[in-house]
Amino acid sequence: MRRIAPLLTLAALLWIAPALAAAPIPGGLAGNIYPVPTLPPTDSQLAVAVGSPMPDFDLPTVAGPRVKLSDYIGKKNLVISFVPAAWTPVCSGQWPGYNIARDIFEDNDAALIGITVDNIPTLYAWTRQMGDLWFPVASDFWPHGGLAQKLGILRSDGVSERALFLVDKKGVIRFIDVHDINARPDLGPLLEAMAKVHAEK
């Protein structure tokens, strides 16, 4: 029996190996998304309007350097894309799309910053799963949602709205889309606004 036991063990292991191998192991971005139920479309009161000056900000980014409003004034139009939270369904499918639209931003002399209220380590892990993003991803984690609060897009549960802001080279907000948090905004209206601002002399 003592001689047979190891053989039986081996046979058992061989038998269960395919089952273990076939066990689903979630991988990559798609396999690690936290399911989120449908939420109220918006849950905050916008504190700025088209024509308002963009509130100042100075935020850390995943890549290291901080991003400040003053970096862009007089140099570039600026698009800010707030998404509610890392590792959630709609957010995880928004910035990869912006990744293939770089030419359009550049053609309109516009920079893009992606922002969430998550901390840097979380954003680091999440954005690495998206591949190489060409735009800086900044954290509005501390003071928590500071910029989101100035803009009036911090929801009562501490995440931000899904929102797009276009700021011109004078620092004036020219386009706002505080979108239904459950859906991805169509890029079309933003691109039209960018082209309109860029066409101004």
Site residues (vs other proteins, CB under 8 A): 3, 5-7, 9-10, 13-14, 17-18, 20-22, 25-31, 33, 35, 89, 93-94, 96-97, 99-101, 103-104, 130-131, 184, 186-188, 191
Instruction: Compute the distance between CA of residue 86 and CA of residue 92 in angstroms, rounded to an integer.
Output: 7
- Min CB(95)–other proteins separation in Å: 8
Q: Which of 59, 78, 91, 112 is catalytic?
A: 91
Which DSSP letter does residue 34 get? Answer: P
CB 170 to other proteins: min, Å: 27
The residue among 94 and 160 lying less far from other proteins, judged by its C-beta, is 94
What's the min distance (Å) between Cβ of 112 and other proteins?
Answer: 14
Unique residue bearing structure tokens 């169509």: 186
Cβ 133 vs Cβ 124: under 8 Å: no
**91 flagged as catalytic:** yes
Please answer whether residues 165 and 150 qualify as being in contact, where contact means their C-beta atoms are separated by less than 8 angstroms: no
Give the shortest CB-194-to-other proteins separation in angstroms.
Answer: 12
CA-nearest of 132, 130, 154, 134 to 144 is 154
Smaller CB distance to other proteins: residue 36 or 172?
36
- The C-alpha angle 158, 160, 163, rounded to 5 degrees, equals 170
Q: Which residues are catalytic?
A: 91
